[in-house]
Amino acid sequence: MDHKNSFCKASNILEINHHAQMFHDWELSYNQISTGQFKSALDTLNFNNIDVYREYFSTSIFQQGAAKRHCLNIGLYVKNKTPIIWQGRNLQHNEIIAIMGSEELMLITPEDSVCLGLSIPLSFFEGDTKEKLCAGFKIQKQIEWAVYPKIETFIHTLLAHPMLVATERTRTQIQYDLIELMIQSIDHQPEKMAVSTKKATCVVNTVIEYTKSHCDQLLAISDLCMLTNTSRRTLQSCFEKMTGMSPALFLKYLRLNNVRKELSQMTENCSIGGVATHFGFWHLSQFAYDYKRLFLESPSDTLKSNMR
């Protein structure tokens, strides 16, 4: 998984060592510990130095070693019928494994187990978030139930549609979305900061004006922090004070409005997916859901109304 922007789909792997060798940057040993013929499958996608994978084992496996170095490594198990034993304890339903690079790993997976995973370079994180990661954080129960299905959908979507990372624009937006999802898991209860109305107004106006003049530019929350010379926490407080929502949600609404304006100006049939992707919406089914929820009509309805 160390090749830039690569996708690999391997099924019917019959040698356990062949499976282990596909994780080039991990220091893992695999041993079969239940009777039966070993069979596995492994789908991997790499883009922007992020690894996304899904692995299946027909037999129970004992895994030991070190995770990928200099990365936050996330794992979650789906459809397991018997418990997964992680570091000496049984994993609960919807529990997320989070392990830092080079940290010792000891895991027993049951028969017919499916694991979804992510490896994200630490260099993608900054400030308080990076400090928490380096100090060894624990995803708490109340956030796992909210984040688990989002990570599961994220991984399944990318592996089902690897061409989503074919362009630099979609790779960039997917990376931004993934980092925000991870930060939700890590900084799930940010401390509220008192900000004046004057400062909050200035910060929000600065963001709005910048996005108006740079509507084709994809922006991460870290970009907005640099633009407004604020911390992530201050930015959050300013937007919640003035708009009642997070900056990420507010930006998504702005991008949805940009898509609507674009579709409303089209004079001939166009690719709705192309317009959506241009404004950073790579998960098209989620885009369609969000669009209809906001405007009470589908993107195709908007386009048809304009054509009429």
- 223, pLDDT greater than 70: yes
What are φ and ψ of residue 19, in 5° steps?
-65, -50
| pLDDT for residue 79 | 77
Residue where one domain finishes, among candidates 114, 147, 178: 178
Is 228 in the same domain as 174? no
pLDDT (mean) for 251-275: 88
| pLDDT for residue 191 | 59
Q: Taking the model in full, what pTM does it have?
A: 0.85
Query: Domain range holding 275?
Result: 197-307
Residue where one domain finishes, among candidates 144, 178, 212: 178
Is 92 in the same domain as 136? yes
Asked if residue 192 is part of any domain, the answer here is: no
pLDDT band at 198 (very low <50, low <70, confident <90, very high): very high
| pLDDT for residue 82 | 80
In this structure, what DSSP letter does residue 80 have?
A: -
Asked if residue 77 is part of any domain, the answer here is: yes
Is 161 in the same domain as 251? no
| pLDDT for residue 1 | 42
Q: How many C-alpha atoms does 27 have within 13 Å on its Cβ side?
A: 9
Average pLDDT of the chain, as a whole number: 88
Is 25 in the same domain as 66? yes
Is 205 in the same domain as 170? no
Distance of CA 40 to the CA centre of its chain: 25
pLDDT digits (tens, 9 = 90+) for 124-171: 988 777 777 777 666 555 566 678 899 999 999 999 999 999 889 899
pLDDT (mean) for 96-114: 88
Asked if residue 191 is part of any domain, the answer here is: no
Token pair for 130: 């990076």
Is 12 in the same domain as 160? yes
pLDDT band at 190 (very low <50, low <70, confident <90, very high): low
Asked if residue 188 is part of any domain, the answer here is: no
Asked if residue 20 is part of any domain, the answer here is: yes
Residue where one domain finishes, among candidates 116, 145, 178: 178
Is 64 in the same domain as 92? yes
Asked if residue 185 is part of any domain, the answer here is: no
Q: What is the CATH number of the domain that holds 136?
A: 2.60.120.10
Is 163 in the same domain as 203? no
Least confident of 7-16, 93-102, 256-265: 93-102
Q: How many CB atoms lie within 10 A of CB 47?
A: 22
pLDDT (mean) for 249-265: 93
pLDDT digits (tens, 9 = 90+) for 69-103: 889 999 999 877 788 998 888 988 788 888 887 78
| Residue among 191, 291, 201 at smallest CA distance from 233 | 191
- 2, pLDDT greater than 70: no
Query: What percent of the chain is predicted at pLDDT more than 70?
Result: 92
Strand 97-100 versus strand 71-78 pairing type? antiparallel
| pLDDT for residue 259 | 94
Counting the structural domains of the chain, the total is: 2
Token pair for 103: 């940290």
pLDDT (mean) for 284-292: 94
Asked if residue 260 is part of any domain, the answer here is: yes
Is 31 in the same domain as 151? yes
Q: What is the CA radius of gyration of the chain?
A: 22
| pLDDT for residue 188 | 56
Residue holding tokens 């492994």?
A: 42
Asked if residue 190 is part of any domain, the answer here is: no
Distance CA 206, CA 6 (A): 38
Q: What is the CATH number of the domain that holds 266?
A: 1.10.10.60
| pLDDT for residue 137 | 61
pLDDT (mean) for 180-184: 85
